[in-house]
Every structure is written in structure tokens, then in C-alpha cells.
Amino acid sequence: MLARILRKRHNIDCDVVDPRGWVLRGVPSRAEEYRADMASYYDVVIGLHPDNALREVVNSAQVRPVIVVPCCNFWSDTAKLGRDQLLDAIENHHAGYGTSERAVLDFRGPHNRALVLLPGYAPTRHQAREIPATERQHVHPARQSAQRPVQQDAQRGQGRAEPVPRKQQHRPGVPGQALALASRRQPAPPDARWQALIPAEGTGIIAHHDLAPWNLVISPRQWAFIDWDTAAPGSRLWDLAYALHGFVPLSANPAYQRGNPAHRMRLFAGAYRLDQTQRQQLVPMLARRTKAIYDCLAGQAAAGTQPWTRLWQQGHGRAWRADTGYIAGRKDTWHHALLG
């Protein structure tokens, strides 16, 4: 029922994962056991009395925000835990991976306690409260063309907003200006470990590597990028090439195209303040960056890795391949747009 409410009232895409195959009409479902390695496919994982899947749901908080309402004795095989002991055990387990906060749900009963578990890279609690979860935007690249960035704090593993003044948010090119703010040099700690799936071209910043509308959170007070789990050393141009794909967008599908892509690219690059050398480097990088996504998806699917295999089966590979061909075949257009 929660999934239906989120879909109907807030236009948030949801999957119900239940090995028993119980479904609600109009709500996508997966009749399989939930595993923690599925978490990276989702923006948030909610476990409502997940029973045998409790530990898998909790372990998902290492990479994604989790809300869990634990029930019964499915945490320990050797000890019977009461409600508060169970909450303590989960919090202690997650302490090495991120933060936790208890919540009391608005109904009576012994099981009206929930835990909000955040991974170490998640925004701070203060920021999370400023950006309600119901305002998370799930959109295709064609449906969103402006952004406000989050700059990664490598020392603390947090994100912080880099605001664009509200009076400027309507101006063309603000996405590029915002991205320029986000990609200022940020030193990485020497013992940092990264989860980058795609080797970056160049270094110089801690790059997001997935700057796209589906990783944008919008509230009346601020806009911010989320999903920093694949952040790693990279270059400003490498991140920019990916952002252009999503925010222009550079799509082979006419249904997703928006306006004049060359004009939108020129505005984006102008706000980013690219010099001539950077513009020349960016033109051939556009297709390479998109093909890198296709190659990654194909490799992960060939290895049987989820969720990449499922995404490949759903046609994502064909879409990225088509976009690569679309971008590569219009190299002269992008050259004229950026270099005139």
C-alpha cells in the first residue's frame, strides 16, 4: 500500500520485492528474495517488517538510505531480542558504515519504531530535513534541464549544497554555472577507497560520475545532487560530458529531445566558462563518455551482475548505444556549437 501511495500521490516510481509474489494492481513487483546488492538500483530502500530479509535490508544502508521497521526475531540466530534490543543491535551493526536515527511512527503498538539508516556519503541530517523525500525527482533527461550541485566533502564523506541564487535559476545556462561551482578542486584523503565503475579520463577533482536529472533533488529552498556512491577522482570535462548527455539532452530518441541541442550545449558550456582548448577537448569526449556507459553496462550484464543484467534486458544497452551513435554522427554540429 505504501508503494501505491508513493506512486499515486507523489509520482515516485517504486518496486515491491516479495518472494511470495504478492502484488498490488498498478504497482511493479519483483517475486524474488531481496538482497543487499539490489540496493544500488534504487534511491531509497524501505523495509516494512522485512522478516528474513532484515539483515539484507539493513546492509543496503551501506550504499543507499534505508528506512526499516524491524519486527520479530530475524536478526540473531542465537539470541531472542526484544524491540529495543533489536534496534540497538541494528544501530551498532550500522555504526561502522554510516549514521542512524530512530523514529516513532504515528500508530499505537509495540512495533511502531523505525530506523533511518544513512550511508557514510549521504547528506547531513540538517540537509536531509531541508530536502523532503517526497520532492525527489524521478525524471528522464528530457524532462529536466537545470540543476543545483552538491560538492563532495572528501574529508567527511558528506555532501553540501552550492546554491545558485534564486533570481538566477530561470536564466539559460545555469546548469553549467552550477556544475562549475560543484567541480572546484577538492583534495582526496590518501586512504580513500573508491567505487568507480568506469575509468575516468583525466584527474583533478573528485567527480560525481553520474550527474543526471535522476540524481537531482529539488525543494523550494535548494536543489542538490545525491547518489555520490560512485564518486571518485576524475576530470571536470569527463563529468561535464556526462552532464551534457542528461541535461541538454543528447538523446537519439525524438521523444526525449528538447529544443535545439546545439544551442542548449552552447549555453551550458558558456556558463561553465570553458576556454577554447577545453571546448576542443570536449567535442570528441562526448561520444566516448556515452560509449563508456554502454561498455560498462554490457560488461556487467555479461558477467551476470545485478542490477546491470536486468537493465540490459530492459533495453538500456540499446538506448545507450543509440545515443552514442547519435552523438558521434553529429560531431560537426557540436564543434560548431562550442567553437562557432
Taking only the tens place, the pLDDT of each residue in 64-90 is 899 998 876 678 777 788 888 888 888
**How sure is the predictor about 123, in pLDDT bands with cuts at 50, 70 and 90?**
very low
Q: What is the pLDDT of residue 186?
A: 56
First-to-final CA distance of the chain: 54
Q: How far apart are the C-alpha atoms of 69 and 222, rounded to whole Å?
A: 29
Q: Residue 299: CB partners within 8 Å, gap ≥ 6?
A: none
Q: Is 190 helix (H, G, I), strand (E, B) or coil?
A: coil
Taking only the tens place, the pLDDT of each residue in 107-120 is 776 677 889 998 86
Strand 216-218 and strand 150-153: the pairing is unpaired
Q: Residue 86: CB partners within 8 Å, gap ≥ 6?
A: 70, 73, 75
Q: Residue 87: CB partners within 8 Å, gap ≥ 6?
A: 70, 102, 113, 115
Q: Which CATH class is domain 145-339?
A: alpha beta
Burial of 209 (0-12, 13-18, 19+ CB in 10 A): buried
The secondary structure element, H or E, covering residue 116 is strand 113-119
Taking only the tens place, the pLDDT of each residue in 198-230 is 989 988 888 889 988 888 887 666 777 888 888
Q: How far apart are the C-alpha atoms of 209 and 121, rounded to whole Å?
A: 14
Specify the amino acid at residue 108.
R
Taking only the tens place, the pLDDT of each residue in 277-298 is 999 999 999 999 999 999 999 9
Q: ∠158-13-31 over CA atoms, to 5°?
A: 105
**How sure is the predictor about 300, in pLDDT bands with cuts at 50, 70 and 90?**
very high
Q: Which residue has the cell 537519439?
A: 252
Taking only the tens place, the pLDDT of each residue in 157-199 is 333 333 333 333 334 344 555 555 555 555 667 788 888 889 8
So where are the chain's domains?
A: 33-119, 145-339
Q: What is the pLDDT of residue 184?
A: 56
Q: How far apart are the C-alpha atoms of 174 and 267, rounded to whole Å?
A: 9
**How sure is the predictor about 125, in pLDDT bands with cuts at 50, 70 and 90?**
very low
